[in-house]
């Protein structure tokens, strides 16, 4: 058997192994981060329920100050939507799909060819402060490369969520005078 034939068989075997293992990896991916903010839930909620205010503390806005954003729908709450175009982060949109004052904001994310996801901000009041949990969920489907990439979501998204929550904490506490 010639070298080229062995090489091709080895390469095909590696591809089959790569794809086969991918289907053993999780299809659904979730990332969650939490922070304690010394501001009441209504102050924190105001930064979540308006996507223009989201821009004030978002790690992605800071990562690409040249990002183009277009807002549609109401000025806040359910139906408000932002579409973005970024050299750093690509294009996509986020829409508020559920809103419970002082308790919850849920959004639908659309990353175009890269898929969709859901995010949620859950608020819980305590002693004049707020415990906030920022969650992300996506279904990677049957895309083998997507499932391999899913292994990195905890690191990639988690770091951004931590930075965003730190910025949100700073803004909300400053506004609340804490």
In this structure, CATH architecture of domain 27-176: 2-Layer Sandwich (3.30)
pTM above 0.75, yes or no: yes
The H or E element that residue 36 is part of is strand 28-37
Q: For the chain, what are the domain ranges?
A: 27-176
**pLDDT of the chain along its 178 residues, tens only?**
687 777 777 777 767 666 665 566 677 888 999 999 999 999 999 999 999 998 899 988 888 889 999 999 999 999 999 999 998 888 999 999 999 999 999 999 999 888 899 999 999 999 889 999 999 998 877 777 776 676 677 888 899 999 999 999 999 999 877 6
Closest by CA position to 30, among listed 149, 118, 91, 122: 118
CA-to-CA dists, residue 171 to 40, 41, 126, 139, angstroms: 12, 13, 18, 32
């Amino acid at each position: 058997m010639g070298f080229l034939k062995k090489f091709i068989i080895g390469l095909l075997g590696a591809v089959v192994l790569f794809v086969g293992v991918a289907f053993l990896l999780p299809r659904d991916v979730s990332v969650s981060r939490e922070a304690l903010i010394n501001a009441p839930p209504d102050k924190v909620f105001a930064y979540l329920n308006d996507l223009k205010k989201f821009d004030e503390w978002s790690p992605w806005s800071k990562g690409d100050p040249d990002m183009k954003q277009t807002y549609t729908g109401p000025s806040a709450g359910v139906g408000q939507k932002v579409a973005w175009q970024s050299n750093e982060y690509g294009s996509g949109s986020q829409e508020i799909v559920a809103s419970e004052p002082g308790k919850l904001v849920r959004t639908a994310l659309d990353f175009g060819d890269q898929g969709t996801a859901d995010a949620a901000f859950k608020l819980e009041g305590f002693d004049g402060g707020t415990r906030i949990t920022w969650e992300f969920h996506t279904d990677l489907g049957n895309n083998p490369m997507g499932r391999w990439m899913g292994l990195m979501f905890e690191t990639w998204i988690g770091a951004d969520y931590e930075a965003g929550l730190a910025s949100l904490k700073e803004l909300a506490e400053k506004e609340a005078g804490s």
